[in-house]
Structure 1
């Protein structure tokens, strides 16, 4: 090798490393800055075509200065009745609260409940407070706590938004720290190396920084919307995916180092053999996420491109930064357990035994695995995905939830969250009468802009009515009332009435989520099948892989249907959880099958399909299983954010990835492929396979024949 060649070999990875160090230094801080352009306003993520979303647009004309209400509720201590002095003190407290920073000055006087044991009033905050809404809510609380002989609570949209902000306060530091810490501990334990885990973590952090910078720019210019949930999912996706891809490449490099002395040649071969499965895996996940653009829910549509950007950065880091670092360090990257250059293929003890089991009893193996998955999947239809009540929105009890329960105990269940009806002003009396006659409606009053005795506001020839529901705003009964309310006011001639508000938004979101599942799931499956067909040059293998991963997803839903209510105490599941779970699990589950089957195809070209699948399983078993454990642990880190939605996503993905890694990829798929033999690659046929998948050399190909695995098989 000439000196010029050696210099070039050294220069290219060094330049890549310097480039990534520059990117990391320039964009690393954006993982923390993304919160500056995120919003936790649920109104920003409503279905685009829903009636409740149109009401959000129409009601802005009635609110000359958009407001965010805080509902204050006082309950008399000891179950007694509210006194005149307490009511006077409450009025004074509301007047003082309306002057705190962030308040508009508007408030309603304290009104007693029908049972006489509670008071409630409303303080209006500015709607543009953003991340400082918590400070204003805290200031309101300070002013209203002085009513003697009572317990006070703050409910309503502003209080809820304040609690959401508190829940997401740790998403920049705590979530990222926990996820990276978990990954580091697992890698140190599995690989018994100090340097390699650090390289993997650094590559993941660089990928996250670059992806957050891109998303920050897009969000700042209004191209995508980001909330705390999307921010958390982006971090977990990038860290998990970057780690998985890095482990696949580093394992192949280590294998090649044991076969040859030259690290440059070893990396060239490892990179060439890894680039196709890594790129295909990244493409599968990115396409699955981009299909979310078909959703009518804005947060789903935002997660699609945001997640795809993150996956693209993870692939780029794994295929550029990590190879550059590994080729410069060589065997030192695996210190203290440096791979010897003895020319022997490494032996994988446990996976050699697993492969031998699959080789001896393939049909019994896949039938047993299929039975386990089918038994779990049988419970999937019982999963309640109709939504999480507001009382269970947070994992831990939050002040706004407690206050809403206090409010509902003494006032109509929908107090603080009225349904909003907007109709033509000439039909105001008829629309009011129609709304008041609806069963489940507690009261109807025109919107006055916060002035209790002021005139009804009219905007663009329309009038707004606030309809208080008898049942809790997030209950099924309230949603049924909204449906009846819509039918009643829609029937008023000339009213052109629209019904919105919190309950209508929840109903429209639930309906849209159900529609999205039926639309998006088949498209995701079609995208995955297309990638698999192009990658494996086969029709049978992609169908087998897609079917097994889909069954694994249904089995995971079945387990969730049991675990969520009986272990975690969730009475319902967020409507978006099954869809998110499908996109993550199917796309990520296919990832591991891609890693396995590309190696199986490589081995099958030389040894025939039946021996090839055993060699492929032996070679990839350790790295894929460790990657699955890392990804599951990474998603489990979402549990540090005290929100039911993220806790449910954390469990469904973590459990599903482990199920797919340990059962589907380790036993079900290899056994099915072994049973199918050369037919796996139909309509193509590998040169090493004879008729019906029999190896040309006449070696064992029968279903129950022993696998020809000697000490050195695998990689």
Structure 2
């Protein structure tokens, strides 16, 4: 099948390329765009209490206004506010309200907004929309920050804006700079490394152009699937799509180009060499893509809508990349022929490849030692994974220089840390009858008595009196671990227990949402990872026609996952002293290290199988496979790891953790697992590794080639097609 696909693309290149261009343009024009959403409750199933709170609030209190941000005032000298300062606070708040910024209803302050210690004054910035995630709110907050500067002239005050909309604004602006840096660094790395590897400007530039075209098609198909098929996908997926497409796209292009160059060096004509390259590595690329696709589709089993939305989108992107690797890439290089390598002539001669041949010889001659050594390295690193602590306080991951972060610290000097975003407790009558006012006050007292609660506001009832709302200020920041555990544990337990007979209590708010997300993430780890592992094992079994090989390959993958997570824990928790790591980090490692990194294992074992099918002894098969695959794996891994490594330059702990984990994991997968552990274990098992498939393959009489060339042996009576 792959030979037929390759033959069509190679011999009808213009038709193939035209088809891709037409598809990209049509989808760019006609496909619906991806919508944006950042509402955490949209990502949780309806049985979670925080989601039920949101639904109840919508029905019982259909308000059109809500706090969007908080202006935090203090003296420039850090002292207590004077009477003149307090009058200036009211004047500045009135001036901000008078600007009439879009989606901002009013800016409210007063004597009660001054902290007990007299150092901090607040002004609530109230939005005209009940949607806390409205796209316009951060823009209006940015305008208000600028509006405040002239209003503060002549006063002794300084102002910082924090709260949900302000945090969103700072996060968007800081991540926007990071996205641009990632894209620039990615393009630069790919171009430079491809230029170094192939010494050809065409080969350095063409993969970038091809992947850009693939990105257009993928985005269009994802948008169409979201519109027509009910698939949830939002615009936030674009950034991760870029990294995935450049990662797997570069991998697959390199898999094909290295084999294409190998055939050219064996003396084949360009078109025949390209057709044979597709025939040889087509199954490998398809299997690698299949493993990544099923790993991403396993996210459909997630309880979190965010993960369920991400899975199919990424799967579609990888599927498009697979088709492009087997059709568009051969078509483009068919038109160029050997001129693609211009001006270099290195493709005409066999390189010495000292590193690749050295690794191949080492692995084939010392398989036991290398297997033991690589296993010990992975196992030791994996020990650190047991100390992994999930961190849900995303504000602590942000740069401490951001205004919203600094203003929140200032607010906490005078008020409870939870003042900016209190927990919301609702009490509703089960039969719809009005609630007893005395019981409401008693219930409030029990909420206020919970340890960790700063204060509980008096009940606010809906029009028919069947639902009461309490604003409960916690002593901890909304996304801090203590606040999350308090809202989801003692506060909920106390509210449920204290609810008067005939009523039901529900606890929501940011802290409660994060508690439910934490529970959902734990569920997903226990379900998604095993299912994805079994699916990848099935694909490996079909590729290798073996039951044994997929088992030890997945054990190696599990070790690599643990080693990656463990090394990240040691660096950030133990060395840098972080309270915990990004709670999504295991999923990120799973997506980029386990799923995409498995490509290198598949490439290696596929080449091993190819050599074994020819009847080569296991030892020689290992040497040849490693020597021939090492350059491809090294180049692909360095490009992908370098792309993520750029994230470590960001002034954001979350991005630094992500960058290190993925970059380190990819390099570990490539240079320890794929080049050392997998081939040595295969060598030790011998033909048993391919049971029940190729373990009884007949031996060939080989005429050894020069080992330094890393070439495959030639057999009597036949010319082995390279």
TM-score by length of 2: 0.89
Q: Per the alignment, do residues 340 and 170 of structure 1 end up closer, same or farther by CA in structure 2, a change over 3 Å counting?
A: closer
Distance 1:646 1:17, change over 3 A: same
Distance change (3 Å), C-alpha of 1:23 and 1:685: closer
Match of residue 232 from structure 2: 224
Q: Which residue of 2 aligns with 1:87?
A: 86
Question: Distance between the aligned counterparts of 1:86 and 1:80, measured in 2?
Answer: 11
Distance 1:16 1:376, change over 3 A: same
Counterpart among 43, 55, 58 of residue 57 in structure 1:
55
Cα deviation for residue 421 of structure 1 reads 0.7
* Structure 2 CA distance for aligned equivalents of residues 168 and 446 of structure 1: 40
Q: CA deviation at 1:288?
A: 0.6
1:285 aligns with 2:292: yes
Instruction: Please report how far the alpha carbon of residue 150 of structure 1 lies from its aligned counterpart in structure 2 after TM superposition.
Output: 2.1
Q: 1:241-640 alignment to 2 at 5 Å?
A: 241-338=248-345, 348-385=353-390, 387-395=391-399, 397-424=401-428, 426=435, 428-446=440-458, 456-458=461-463, 461-482=466-487, 483-491=489-497, 492=499, 493-565=501-573, 570-606=578-614, 607-639=616-648
Number of residue-to-residue matches in the alignment: 685
Which ranges of structure 2 fall in alignment gaps of 5 or more residues?
A: 1-6, 429-433, 713-721
**Cα distance between partner residues in 2 of 1:651 and 1:503:** 28
Q: Residue 24 of structure 1: CA displacement?
A: 4.4
State the partner residue of 2:200: 193
Structure 1: unaligned runs, 5 residues or longer = 1-6, 449-455, 690-694, 701-706
Q: 1:236 to 1:396 in 2, by over 3 A?
A: farther
Shift of 1:278: 0.6
In structure 1, distance between residues paired with 2:339 and 2:464: 72
**Contact 2:352–2:709 under 8 Å retained in 1:** yes
Q: How far did 1:340 drift? A: 6.0
Residue 565 of structure 1, CA deviation: 3.1
Residue 80 (structure 1) shift: 2.1
Distance 1:97 1:30 in 2: 42
Shift of 1:601: 0.6
* Separation of aligned partners in 1, 2:68 and 2:62: 12
Residue 181 of structure 1 deviates from its aligned partner by: 1.8
Q: 1:565 to 1:30 in 2, by over 3 A?
A: farther
Q: How far apart, CA to CA, are the structure 2 residues paired with 1:423 and 1:9?
A: 66
Contact 2:364/2:622 (<8 A) preserved: no
Asked if the contact 2:545/2:690 (under 8 Å) is kept, the reply is yes
Task: Determine the C-alpha separation between the residues in 2 that align with 1:696 and 1:256.
Answer: 22
Contact 1:103–1:123 (8 Å) recurs in 2: no
CA, structure 1 residues 123+186, in 2 after alignment: closer, same or farther (shift >3 Å)? same
Aligned to 1:14: 14
8 Å CA contact retained: 2:564, 2:589:
no
Q: Tell me how far 1:241 sits from its aligned partner.
A: 0.6
Residue aligning to 1:451: none
CA drift at 1:130: 3.8
Secondary structure, aligned partner of 1:122: strand
* Residue 73 (structure 1) aligned with residue 72 (structure 2): yes
Residue 381 to residue 459, structure 1, CA distance change in 2 (3 Å) = farther
SS in structure 2 at match of 1:497? strand
- 1:257·1:339 contact (CA, 8 Å) conserved in 2? no
| Mapped contact 1:285–1:311 kept (Cα < 8 A) | yes
Q: Aligned match of 1:123 in 102, 122, 125?
A: 125
CA deviations on 1:495-515 (whole Å, 9 max, x unpaired) are: 211101111112221222122
Instruction: Tell me if the contact between 2:211 and 2:246 (Cα under 8 Å) persists in the aligned partners.
Output: yes
Q: Aligned equivalents of 1:569 and 1:317: distance in 2?
A: 45
Deviations 1:370-389 (A, max 9, x none): 1111111111111222x142
CA spacing shift, 1:98–1:640, aligned 2, 3 Å = farther
Aligned CA-pair RMSD: 2.8
2:680 maps to 671
Q: Secondary structure of 1:37's partner?
A: coil
Q: Helix, strand or coil for the counterpart of 1:420?
A: strand
Structure 2 counterparts to residues 153-172 of structure 1, below 5 A? 153-170=160-177
CA contact (8 A) 1:252 1:274 kept: yes
Partner of 1:3: none
Deviation at 1:625, TM superposition (A): 1.1
Alignment check: 8 A CA contact 1:69 1:124 kept: yes
Distance in 1 between residues matched to 2:576 and 2:30, nearest whole Å: 34
